[in-house]
Structure 1
Amino acid sequence: MSEHNLENNLRKDLGLVSALSLVVGMVLGAGAFMKPPAVLEVAGDYNFALLAWIIGGVFSICGGLTLCELGVMFPKTGGMLVYLEKIYGAKVSHLYGWMITVLFAPSLVGALVGYFSSVFCLLFAINDAYRMAVSAGVLGFIACINSIGVKQAGYLQTIATFCKLVPILLLAIFGLWKGNGQVALFSASGQGIETYAPFAVAILATLFAYDGWAQVASVAGEIRNPSKVLPKAIILGIIFLVIVYACINIALFKIFPVQEMVTLGHDASAVASQRMFGHLGGNLVAVGIMVSILGGINGYIMTLSRTIFSMGERGTIIGAKFLSTIDDDSRSPVNAIIILVVFSFLYSTLLDADRLSEISMFSIWVFYLLTFIGVIIARKKFADTPRPYKVIGYPVIPMVAILGAGYVIYGMLVHQTVNGIASIVLTLIGLPLYYYFDNKNKHIELSLGEVKKYQFKTKYMIAISSIIIVSGLITYGYFAIK
C-alpha cells in the first residue's frame, strides 16, 4: 500500500485562508443569480425556498467533509475518478468518467451558456430567436481562449472571479436595504404558488449553486495539517455561502412578489439590479453577472475537458485517440475541448438551462452517493492506510451525506422520472463500451496521448469556425423573426 503514501511527496503549502478561498472561489458563481427563481417555483413560498437553500448547504458540508477523507488517502490527479477506481474497481470508475463526458460536463456547461444568453439578450434587448447565436459565440470565445493556452484561460478565470463579487455584493446589500418589503419571512405572507414537485427537487436546484466543493478533495494532500484545516475550510466556506445565498434570496424576495419572480426566471437578478440602480447601473450589474457566468463556463471547460482527455488516454471510449491528443502549440487537450463545446451547444439548444442543471446535478450526485458509501467501505478495505484526515463525526456525517444524496435522487426520479431514467440509462451505456474496448485493447499496445502539431493553428480554426456558425445562426434568427 506504499502508493497511498504519495501525499508525503507533495508540497503542503495550502493553509486555512487558501483552502477557504478555494471553497468559496469554486462554488460561488452563476447559481447565486440564476437559481433563486427556480428554487422558489418548486418550493412554493419564501420560507420553504430559504429552507431548501439551508438544507442544500448542510448536505454540501457533510458531503465535502466526507469526500475529503478519500482526497487525503489518494492524493492523485483525477479526484473522484481515482477514488471510485480504488474502492469499486475500473468499471465503476469508467462509468463515472463516461457520465462526466456525455452527461455532466455538457449539461452543466450547456446550462451556464443558457443562463448567459438569457441575461445577454435581456441586457441588449435582443430577440430570443438569436439566443443560439449568442450561445455559439460565447462557447467559441471560451474554446478559442483555451486553445491558446491554459495560462490565458487562467487570466480570464482570475478576472471573472474578481468581477463576480461585485454584483453579488450589490444585489445582497442594496436589495436588503432598498427592497420594497414584499417579503414576510417566518409569518403568513399571503403569497405563494401551488407546486406539485417534491421538496427534494427544490434542494436539488440549490445543489447547482453549491457544486464545486468536491474539487477541494483533489488538493487535500497539499494542505498543511488537513485534519484541522479541511473541516474548518469546508464548514466556514459553505456556511459563508449559505449566508450569501440567503441574503441574495431575501433581497430578491423584497423586490419581487412570488409570481413575478418566478415568471422572470433567469432574468430576475438583472431586472432587480435595474430597479435598484436605474437603467445604467442595472446594466453594469448585469454585465458583472455575465462576466461571472463567463468565468463559470471557462472554469468548467478548462477542468472538465481534462477529465474527458483522461478518459481518452484510458482507451475505453469512442474516439479515444482523438480525445487524448494534445495540441503542440498550446499544450492543451484541444480536441477534448472542442467535443465538450459542441455537445454543450447541442444540449443548450435541446433543453432549457434549469432542466440541464437538474440533469447535471442528478447525474453527479448518483456518483457522490457511491463515493460517500465508499468512505465507509474504505475504512475496512484500506484499514492500514494512513489517514492524516478522518471525517469528523464518523459515521454520522457520512450517513447524513448518504441520506441527503439518496433524498435528492429520489426527488428527481419522482418529479422528472423520464429525465432521471434517461440519465441512468445513458450512464449505463458506458458499461458495454468498457467491455468492448477492454477486450479489444487487451492484447495490443495502445498508442494514445500523442502531442500533435497541426498545419493550421487550432486557435485560428476555432475562431473562424465560430464566426461562420454565429453568422449562420444570426441569419437564421433574422428570417425566423421575419
Structure 2
Amino acid sequence: MGIQETQPLLGASSHSDAISQSTTQPQDNTHDELPAPYPDTLPGATYRKSLNWSSAYILVVSRVIGSGIFATPGSIVKSAGSIGLTLLVWLVGTILSACGMAVSMEYGCMLPRSGGEKVYLEYTYPRPRFLASSLIAVQAVLLGFTASNCIIFSKYIFFALGTEPTESQHKALAVGLLTVITIIHGCFLKTGIYIQNILGWVKIFLIGAMSLTGIWVVFLQLYGNTDDFSPGAKSGSSFSWDLMWEGSNWSWSVLSTALFKVYYSYAGLNNVNNVLNEVHDPVGIVKTVCPTALLTAGALYTLANLSYFLVIPLEEIKNSGELVGALLFQRLFGDHIGKVFFPLAIAISAAGNVMVVTFALARVNQEIARQGFLPWQNALSSTRPFGTPLGGLIVHYIPSALVISLPPQGDVYNFILDLEGYPGQIFALSVTVGLLIVRYREPDLVRPFKAWLPAVWLRVAVCLTLLITPWIPPPNWQGDVDFFYATYAIVGIGILLFGVLYWYIWTVLLPRWGDYHLEEEKEILADGTSIIKLVRVYGG
C-alpha cells in the first residue's frame, strides 16, 4: 500500500530547520497560524493567543500551590525527624526545583511550542524512531493519574464532618469526586472552566491565609487558648540550634522520599510550557512568569512550615499524616471554625487541583491519540459529542480510579507520591541530559534564555542520586510506608520497561514479521479534528 509523503513526526533535521527558522525571526503574535509544524503541532493546526502574562502566572501558581503544602509536611517531618532537617530538605528541594525550572525555561524559550517535556524528548531523541513518543504515551496513560488530591479531598471532608469513615467510604468519596469532575469536563466545557478558575483563586487565598498565620504567631503571639499549645512551640525554644536538629534522620533513602514530596509541592513550575502555542510573547512570559511563580511559592511554603512548627508540637506533626493543615487551623481558630471550616476549604482546594490537572491531562491524552500512539485513535481523538476531549478524559479516569481503589488506604497517599516521583526523575534526567546533547549537537540554535551550566549539572547529579537512593535500605529496612521500601521504584521502572516492550513489539517486531514499515499520514475526522495516522506500508 502506497501513501503520499508527509512531514515525519520525529525527524530530527526537519525539527531543527523549523525551529531555527521560527526562533531567528520575530514572532507575530497577532496571527493564530503557527509557522512550520512541530512535533506537537499538526499541519494546518491553528491556535488562539488567549493567555497574557497575568493569566499565565495564575496558570503556573495555581498548579504549583495545591494540597501538597497542606498534606505532605507531616510525612516530610516524619522522614527528616527534626525541625532543622525538615527546613533544610525544603530549602534544598526549592533550589533543586529552581534548577529543573531553568532547564525547562531554556527548552521553552528555544522551542516555544505547546507540549512541554513531550516536545523536548521527541526533539532531542528522534532515534530509535517512536521510542520517546511511546514512553511518553505509556507514562501519560499509566502514571498521569489524578489520585493524590482526590484522597486529600476525601480525608479533609470526613475530618471536617468529624466522622470516622471506613476504608471503603474513603475510597468511594475520592472516586466519586473524580467521577463528578470527569462528567463536568466531559459534558459541560464552559462550566468546568468557570468552576476551576474560581477554585484556583480559592487555593491561592488559602495558602496566603496559612502563611499569614505564621507571621501572626511569630510577631503577635495571638494563640487564642494558650493551653492548647506546647511550651516549646509558644516560646520558640524549639528553634534553638540544638533542639532544631534533635532526632534528625540522615538516611539517604528516607530523605530521598522526602525530597520527592517537596518536588511534588513544586510540581507545575513548567506548566506554561505545556500551552505556549496559546501564549502572547511565549519567550518573554517563560523568562518572567516561571521565576516569579517560584519565588511566590517558596515564600509561602516557608511561612507555612514555620506556622506548623510554631503552633503544633513536633510529635503531633509527625503523626498527622495528611491532616497537618487541619491541625494548624484547629489550634489557631478552635474546634468550630478551625476543625470544620478550614479543612472543608482545603478539601475544596484539593478538588480545584483535581479539576485543573484532569483538564490538562485529558488534552495531553488526546494529543497522544491524535499522533497515533493510542488504540481506538479516532474515538479518543474526537471532540464529539460535547466539544470536549471525552476520550482523553476516559483514558485519564480509568487508571486514576484504579490507583485510588486498589492500594491499602493507610499508605496509598505516600505511595502515590513516590510512584509519580520516581519515573518522573527518569524523564527529568533524560530532559536535562538532552539539553546538553542539543547544546553540543546544535550550538548555533538561538537560545533566548540559557540555563547556568552548574545548575544543569547539579540537576543531573540530583536526578541520579534520587534514582539510586531508594534502593539503599533505610534503618530497620522500613521507609515511610508499611511495605517494602523500594516498591514504588520497582513499580515505576516496571511501567517504563513495559513502555519499551510496547514500543518494540508494535514498531520493530510486528513490522519485521509482517514485512511492512510505519509511516505517518494526515487525516481529518468528521468533527474537523486533524490526526496523524500511523499506516502500514508493505514492501521496500
- Shorter-normalised TM range: 0.7 to 0.9
User: Corresponding residue for 2:353?
Assistant: 296
CA contact (8 A) 1:68 1:220 kept: no
> Aligned in 2, Cα 1:328/1:141: closer, same or farther, shift over 3 Å?
same
Unaligned stretches of 5+ in structure 2? 1-15, 31-48, 224-228, 474-484, 529-540
In the aligned structure 1, how far is the partner of 2:447 from the partner of 2:188? 36
One-letter code aligned to 1:210? Y
- In percent, how many aligned pairs have the same letter? 21
Could you tell me which residue of structure 2 aligns to residue 246 of structure 1? 302
Which residue of 415, 435, 441 maps to 2:504?
Answer: 435
Higher relative contact order (CA 8 A, sep 6+): 1
Distance 2:526 2:212 in 1: 50
Distance 2:210 2:518 in 1: 60
Shift of 1:218: 3.4
Which residue does 2:84 correspond to in 1?
47
Residue pair 2:362, 2:396 contacting (<8 A) in 1 also: yes
Give the 5 Å matches for 1:225-304.
226=283, 230-282=286-338, 283-304=340-361
Check 1:187–1:144 CA distance in 2 against 1; reply closer, same or farther (3 A cut).
same
Query: For residue 60 of structure 1, what is the aligned residue in structure 2?
Result: 97
Instruction: Tell me the secondary structure at the aligned position of residue 470 of structure 2.
Output: helix
* Aligned CA distance change for structure 1 residues 223 and 388 (closer, same or farther; 3 Å): farther
In 2, Cα distance between equivalents of 1:231 and 1:325: 32
Deviations 1:55-86 (A, max 9, x none): 11111111111112211222222221111111
Larger displacement relative to structure 2 (212-221 or 189-198): 189-198
Q: Is the 8 A contact 2:110 2:447 kept in 1?
A: yes
Question: Which of 115, 135, 149 is the matching residue for 2:174?
Answer: 135
The equivalent of 1:457 in structure 2 is none
Pairing partner for 1:373 from 404, 409, 433: 433
Q: State the shift of 1:166 in Å.
A: 2.9
**Deviation of the 1:343 alpha carbon:** 1.4
* CA distance, structure 2, for counterparts of residue 64 and residue 193 of structure 1: 29
Show CA shifts across 1:330-364 (max 9, x none).
22221221232221121112331121011112211
Contact 1:42 1:195 in 2 (8 A): no
Equivalent in the alignment of 1:350: 406
Q: Which residue of 2 aligns with 1:30?
A: 67
Q: Tell me, yes or no, if the aligned pair for 2:60 and 2:269 is still in contact at 8 Å.
A: yes
Check whether the contact 1:32–1:245 (CA below 8 A) recurs between aligned residues.
yes
Q: Distance in 2 between matches of 1:443 and 1:21?
A: 41
The answer to whether structure 1 residue 421 and structure 2 residue 475 are counterparts is no
Matching residue's letter, 1:336: G
Which whole-Å CA distance do the structure 2 matches of 1:13 and 1:339 have between them?
A: 27
TM-superposed CA distance for 1:49, in Å, is: 0.8
CA change 1:287–1:166 in 2 (3 A) is farther
Question: 1:6/1:399 Cα in 2 relative to 1: closer, same or farther (>3 Å)?
Answer: same
Distance in 2 of aligned mates of 1:447 and 1:146? 28
The 3 A distance-change label for structure 1 pair 330 and 87 is same
SS for the counterpart of 1:188 is helix
Distance 1:163 1:281 in 2: 17
**2:336 alignment partner, SS class:** helix
Q: Distance in 2 between matches of 1:322 and 1:258?
A: 54
1:316 paired with 2:373, answer yes
Contact 2:89–2:259 under 8 Å retained in 1: yes
Across the aligned residues of Structure 1 and Structure 2, the Cα RMSD in angstroms comes to 2.8
What is the DSSP-based 3-state SS (H/G/I as helix, E as strand, rest coil) of the residue aligned with 1:429? helix
Q: Pick one of 196, 202, 221 that aligns with 1:157.
A: 196
Q: Does 1:76 align with 2:130?
A: no
Residues 430 and 323 of structure 1: CA distance in aligned 2, closer, same or farther (over 3 Å): farther
Letter of the structure 2 residue corresponding to residue 403 of structure 1? A
Letter in 2 for 1:92: A
Alignment match, 1:102: 142
SS, match of residue 266 in structure 1:
coil
Whichever of the two has the greater Rg, that structure is 2
* Distance in 1 between residues matched to 2:170 and 2:288, nearest whole Å: 42
Farther-moved stretch of structure 1 (85-94 vs 381-390): 381-390
